[in-house]
Amino acid sequence: MTRPWETWRAAVARHQPDYQDSVELNEVVSTLQHRPPLVFAGEVDHLRKELGRAGRHESFVLIGGDCAETFAESTANQLRLKIQTLLQMAVVLTYGSSMPVVKIGRIAGQYAKPRSSPFESRGEEVLPSYLGDAVNSFEFTAESRLHDPKRLLDTYNASAASLNLIRAFAKGGYADLRRVHEWNRGFAANPVFARYEQLAQEIHRAVRFMEAAGADFDSLRQVDFYSSHEALLLEYESALTRIDSRTGLPYDTSGHFLWIGERTRDADGAHVELLSQVRNPIGVKLGPTSTAEDIKRLTDRLNPQGEEGRLTFMARMGAEEIGSALPPLLEATKSDGRPVTWISDPMHGNTISTANGFKTRDFDTIMSEVRSFFDIHDAVGTVPAGLHVELTGADVTEVIGGSEGLDDLALEQRYESLVDPRLNHQQSLEIAFQVAEMAARANEGQTSQASSPDAFAVDDWHLFDTSSQAGRLL
């Protein structure tokens, strides 16, 4: 039976696995179709509204996590480290920018990767590339590199188990602002660590003050934490799409926020077709060759009605190219008029290779792209609404630079990523401090203030006749 959102089957689908056994694939798809949803329509709707607010400059979006998750590393400890780092970044950004932060993990589903080449050769041997744990295994043997549909079930299971833990962290006390100090525990002492400690102390005092004053906010105790991944594998995403009983509309229940990669964002392609059918907020990665025409066509396909929060563009231009590549795209969205949320991905356009054979990124280049992103928005009069980074909570050495001054040689110490190099804990916090300052400056320039409720007019205090002392309150 084809379901309404399976129109993608008629379109060109790039970067899909090449499964040998279609009977086995169909069994897997049918099993997935009967599994419970991983996320719920109400949560997805809520996130869409939050992204809409960010697009109006009333909040700031933080998306972070692994380039590619692996089943082996989806352990309680690794997940906790990532959540811990993201919470710390969120605190820094919230405090520094005075804006609410929308927290999204690149997590609980980020198991598939499009690769530049379908094959990898080592010496004489040529095998299919590693496409992420959702498709095959990293080990360089013919058997491991076979595209195995059963891995889609493992992907569902790993995502479900991860989300379960993340929900417990988000709602069960771990994310309580009163624990702001504890999130820094277990990390090496260094200048960024110390700067965080100081901020944590200020927050701690503020929280204690509010408690003493009798304020008791539930919002201090928990966070809304959302999941996201690249919606690459069409069979998987399609199998997890469900009709919501309340609205009668389809939602892709594999994650809250789904994005389309630079390599699959063809407006006529299968990825855009599938995601045009679901209610989730959708992201599209835009590289330096994107045109104003792409913006128009993607908006027509993905957000024809101009709904706030529905469409996010994630600019991954490269520090060198952003100055020429981004302005015409911002102008295009501005003149189009339909709302869009703009996020900076300063990682993917800045990958380099070192002499000693590592794929890396330079911290300063990353920062330079983010800074340009803010400056260009300022010049065009559009809203810099968020940041998307690849990070891990551990003390890996994959990105060079930062205040630790990691160099090419340091990459040999602890390089663990199977795909792209990630910011380590310290570099992640460092970015958060710097971006908080940029966001604060951008926020000052704006007229619409972040979520301040209608203030009591000053004049309302003059209820009493000030000529007579008798009526004075104080």
- Judged by the rule CB under 6 A, the positions of this chain that interact with ligand TRP are 87, 90-91, 94, 100-101, 175, 177, 219-220, 223
Q: Minimum Å distance from CB 93 to ligand TRP? A: 8
267 in contact with Mn ion (CB under 5 A): no
Q: Binding segment for Mn ion among 66-74, 269-277, 314-322, 360-368 (CB under 5 A)?
A: 66-74
Instruction: Output the CA torsion 262→266→267→269 (10° steps).
Output: -120
Of the two residues 69 and 404, which places its CB atom closer to Mn ion in the complex? 69
The answer for residues whose C-beta is within 8 angstroms of residue 409's C-beta and 6 or more apart is: 356
Q: Binding segment for Mn ion among 139-147, 306-314, 412-420, 449-457 (CB under 5 A)?
A: 412-420
Tell which phi-psi region holds residue 121, choosing left (phi > 0), alpha (psi between -120 and 50) or beta.
Answer: beta
**Helices then strands, each counted (H, E), the chain:** 11, 14
237 in contact with Mn ion (CB under 5 A): no
Residue 91's binding partner out of ligand TRP, Mn ion, none, with CB under 5 to 8 Å set by partner kind: ligand TRP
Q: Binding segment for Mn ion among 288-296, 359-367, 418-426, 433-441 (CB under 5 A)?
A: 418-426
Q: Minimum Å distance from CB 101 to ligand TRP? A: 6
420 in contact with Mn ion (CB under 5 A): yes
Start-to-end Cα distance in the chain: 74
Residue 435's binding partner out of Mn ion, ligand TRP, none, with CB under 5 to 8 Å set by partner kind: none
In 166-308, at which residue ranges do the beta strands (DSSP E only) sit? 225-230, 241-243, 250-252, 257-260, 282-286
| CB-CB neighbours of 124 under 10 Å | 5
Q: Minimum Å distance from CB 219 to ligand TRP? A: 4
Residue 175's binding partner out of Mn ion, ligand TRP, none, with CB under 5 to 8 Å set by partner kind: ligand TRP
Q: Minimum Å distance from CB 66 to Mn ion? A: 8
Q: How far apart are CA 435 and CA 343, in angstroms?
A: 12
Of the two residues 59 and 276, which places its CB atom closer to ligand TRP in the complex? 59
Residue 249's binding partner out of ligand TRP, Mn ion, none, with CB under 5 to 8 Å set by partner kind: none
Of the two residues 29 and 220, which places its CB atom closer to ligand TRP in the complex? 220
Q: Minimum Å distance from CB 389 to ligand TRP? A: 16
Of the two residues 182 and 407, which places its CB atom closer to ligand TRP in the complex? 182
Residue 420's binding partner out of Mn ion, ligand TRP, none, with CB under 5 to 8 Å set by partner kind: Mn ion
Of the two residues 3 and 178, which places its CB atom closer to ligand TRP in the complex? 178
**Strand, helix or coil at 420?**
coil
> How many residues of this chain interact with Mn ion, rule: CB under 5 A?
2
Pairing of the two strands 60-65 and 125-128: unpaired
What element of type H or E holds 385?
strand 384-390
Of 82, 105, 92, 201, which is closest to residue 439 (Cα–Cα)?
92
* DSSP type of residue 252: E
Candidates 67, 165, 366, 387; binder of Mn ion (CB under 5 A) is 67
CA 251, 253, 259, 263 dihedral sign is negative
Of the two residues 47 and 91, which places its CB atom closer to ligand TRP in the complex? 91
3-state secondary structure labels for all residues of 432-459: HHHHHHHHHHHHHCCCCCCCCCCCCCHH
Residue 108's binding partner out of ligand TRP, Mn ion, none, with CB under 5 to 8 Å set by partner kind: none
Of the two residues 90 and 134, which places its CB atom closer to ligand TRP in the complex? 90
Structure tokens at 97: 């920018």
Structure tokens at 435: 């971006």
**Is 158:167 a contact under the CB 8 Å cutoff?**
no
Interface residues with Mn ion (CB under 5 A) are 67, 420
